[in-house]
Structure 1
């Protein structure tokens, strides 16, 4: 069972890495489609594993975007872990609407908030609209795909 968990987490992490290479032109070079696969991981991964995939996706996204790795990107990776962990927990408890609202607010608005104090208010106000737009795109992709993936997994479990 652990091998299956590790394999599925690695697969979602790899999909996050692929999504990290699909940049959204919003002015922030690490804005990409890296979190949609992590949100999809909620269908079959436990919350910690889905969060790890999201954190890895951000690290790849930052690297592809040309950002040096450092404390800010470690913070963002930790935030991605928390957002996807929370989303996965809400998904597992069948909170069909609140999980999407949580994902948009937590990732699109709350995640950039520490940079208001760490860098500057101007930076926060400058990057938040782009991050919010990118978050909504990632959430819409996951919103479309998650029910399909969940049905496919349910069908597969019946036939196993």
Structure 2
């Protein structure tokens, strides 16, 4: 990764940190607008970069929320990293609708499944609606911003050539 991409990655991490302060009301407190920068970074910089932003974004959001799930947040950060990586790969195939559906269903239903085992049915059932809302809002913001940022960055690339 070159210096320019590292700088852009740092900007997306910073935006994710800002989004981590914008919480979606829930009893856990770590559901926030920290994911949309990772989706954008994934599309613009690649799945690995998007995954890094997703992992950092979740950890900061959890820290701001008081780390209610303790060490489990490291596991969730790894899940988010993988989720965004796969989102990016699907998006790059040209199937944007499926990529967003993957993100929403993955974030809202699939990723919390291990907590069904660890923390019980009540925790899972109470978190799924909030996670789905958070995933939809993060996905919608990314869906609105990605085309604009792609054209902006592509326009700058064409102007330099």
In the other structure, the counterpart of 1:104 is: 104
Give the conservation status (yes or no) of the 8 Å contact 2:113–2:124: yes
Gaps of 5+ in 2: none
In the other structure, the counterpart of 1:150 is: 150
Question: How far 1:121 sits from its partner (Å)?
Answer: 1.2
| 1:83-103 deviations in Å (ceiling 9; x for gaps) | 111111122222221111111
Matched, 1:67 2:62: no
RMSD over equivalenced CA pairs, Å = 1.4
Secondary structure of the residue that 2:3 maps to in structure 1?
A: helix
Question: How far 1:111 sits from its partner (Å)?
Answer: 1.0
In the other structure, the counterpart of 1:54 is: 54
Give the conservation status (yes or no) of the 8 Å contact 2:107–2:132: yes
Secondary structure of the residue that 1:61 maps to in structure 2?
A: helix
Where does 1:56-95 land on structure 2 (aligned, <5 Å)?
56-67=56-67, 70-95=70-95
Whole-angstrom CA distance in 2 between matches of 1:69 and 1:45: 30
In the other structure, the counterpart of 1:122 is: 122
Question: How far 1:3 sits from its partner (Å)?
Answer: 1.7
- Structure 1 runs, 4 residues or longer, greater than 4 Å off: none
In the other structure, the counterpart of 2:42 is: 42
Whole-angstrom CA distance in 1 between matches of 2:129 and 2:117: 17
| 1:48-79 deviations in Å (ceiling 9; x for gaps) | 11101110000000000111674300011001
In the other structure, the counterpart of 1:159 is: 159
Q: When the two structures are superposed, what TM-score results if normalisation uses the length of structure 2?
A: 0.93
Q: When the two structures are superposed, what TM-score results if normalisation uses the length of structure 1?
A: 0.93
Give the conservation status (yes or no) of the 8 Å contact 2:39–2:88: yes
Question: How far 1:110 sits from its partner (Å)?
Answer: 0.6
